[in-house]
């Protein structure tokens, strides 16, 4: 890796830390991506370098228990090996929840960390790990500015009707409202669409981020006006292990009739529901597509049906639809899922070209389709890097 300033992005999850390294030259040049997986156990470290391709690094501590601080320290050691001066201009962090107040990326200081700690109850399975990554990086890279980029910020200018629940207004005022997530992905796609087709980008667009976590976002003029996700990352579409839309009465029933406590219900809805729960087999769409079981087929059919319903609802919130963009691991690669989800939408002027869809073309709609359907690869790491570069004027 050449000798020049670097920008590091970190996405700290419960059992992994994903990262990317960009060279700050004329713009941002991606030099490497990597991840440390298996935190809390025997971790593995892999890096894909723009120059050398995929490499695996030995990363097995004697205790067999690797924490976020040790993972970030390992990234520092790798940087020292790959680049002699290891001079970082900034470290940019994905933070799932920014609450009501954080509308744009922010420089991290002690006050911001304390503020983000207050939001842990709103994202209990994500926020603590994001904060662990921030603390570890501040210790490992004390001389570099650290930037927090919030997955909720992109949705913060929704109209009241798209953000509220039908509860007493006091709950909304104290922060019980629809936040929406996957904002960094949606913002990247909005920028990509603007460069691809500026006219279309100003129109009525739905972006479907379909992966292990799944949601959809309605945009007008490149800005979010509605999202399928709500107060937490449980709402909306069914996901790999999360339930998606659920009658709250089900939760009351589980408490009163099944005797389940908060911890048990949390584990059910976050870790044992969605495609995994429906199929009884796997959260992975690839495994379900390869399976001959009826339960696997039913799970995929439910995923497609809920997606089609959400597309219809978001199109109604926009007053029509000009374009649909699919992204995320499923959206970018699973042609049969796309075909099933977008079937029978001729009534709204959406016509899929089966051959283009099967080949994962950029445009998968027919030339005669009034609604253009696109497949874009998302890049949250580049969005993190761009925000950091803009904030510290690199």
Q: Which of 26, 85, 109, 151 is catalytic?
A: 151
Spatial separation of the C-alpha atoms in residues 394 and 26, rounded to whole Å: 10
Nearest to 18 by CA among 40, 33, 1, 38: 33
Phi, psi for 128 (deg, rounded to 5): -60, -35
Phi, psi for 302 (deg, rounded to 5): -65, -45
Phi, psi for 39 (deg, rounded to 5): -60, 145
CB count within 10 Å of CB 369 equals 18
Helix 68-82 and helix 127-140: axis angle, to 10°? 40
Sheet holding 372-375, edge to edge: 223-227, 214-220, 204-210, 323-327, 372-375
Nearest to 95 by CA among 75, 116, 69, 122: 116
CA dihedral 17, 334, 303, 364 (to 10 degrees): 120
Secondary structure (DSSP) of 264-285: HHHHHHHHSSHHHHHHSS-S-H
Whole-number CA gyration radius for the chain: 21
Active site residue 298: no
Phi, psi for 62 (deg, rounded to 5): -60, -35
- Residue numbers annotated as active site: 151
């Amino acid at each position: 890796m050449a000798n020049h300033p670097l920008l590091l992005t970190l996405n700290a999850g419960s059992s992994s830390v994903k990262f990317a390294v960009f060279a700050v030259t004329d713009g941002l040049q991606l030099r490497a991506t990597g991840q440390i997986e298996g935190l809390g156990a025997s971790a593995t470290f892999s890096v894909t370098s723009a120059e050398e391709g995929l490499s695996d690094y030995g990363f097995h501590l004697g205790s067999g228990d690797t924490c976020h601080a040790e993972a970030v320290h390992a990234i520092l050691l790798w940087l020292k090996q790959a680049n002699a001066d290891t001079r970082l201009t900034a470290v940019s962090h994905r933070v799932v929840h920014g609450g009501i107040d954080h509308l744009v990326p922010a420089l991290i200081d002690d006050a911001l960390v304390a503020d983000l700690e207050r939001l842990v109850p709103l994202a209990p399975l994500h926020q603590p790990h994001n904060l662990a990554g921030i603390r570890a990086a501040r210790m490992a890279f004390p001389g570099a500015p650290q930037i927090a980029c919030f997955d909720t910020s992109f949705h913060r200018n929704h109209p009241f009707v798209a953000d509220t629940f039908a509860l007493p207004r006091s709950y909304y005022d104290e922060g019980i409202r629809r936040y929406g997530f996957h904002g960094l992905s949606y913002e990247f796609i909005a920028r990509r669409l603007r460069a691809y087709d500026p006219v279309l980008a100003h129109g009525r667009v739905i972006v479907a981020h379909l992966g292990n976590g799944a949601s959809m976002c309605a945009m007008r003029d490149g800005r979010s006006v509605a999202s399928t996700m709500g107060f937490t990352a449980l709402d909306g579409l069914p996901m790999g292990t999360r339930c998606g839309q659920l009658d709250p009465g089900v939760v009351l029933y589980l408490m009163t009739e099944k005797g389940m406590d908060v911890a048990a219900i949390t584990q059910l809805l976050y870790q044992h529901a969605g495609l995994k729960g429906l199929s009884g087999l796997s959260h992975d769409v690839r495994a379900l597509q390869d399976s001959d079981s009826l339960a696997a087929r039913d799970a995929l059919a439910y995923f497609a049906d809920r997606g089609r319903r959400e597309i219809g609802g978001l199109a109604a919130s926009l007053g029509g639809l000009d374009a649909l963009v699919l992204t995320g691991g499923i959206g970018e690669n699973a042609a049969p899922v796309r075909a099933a989800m977008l079937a029978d939408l001729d009534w709204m002027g959406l016509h899929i070209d089966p051959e283009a869809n099967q080949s994962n073309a950029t445009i998968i709609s027919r030339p005669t389709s009034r609604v253009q359907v696109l497949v874009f690869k998302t890049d949250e790491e580049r969005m993190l890097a761009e925000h950091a570069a803009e904030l510290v004027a690199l």
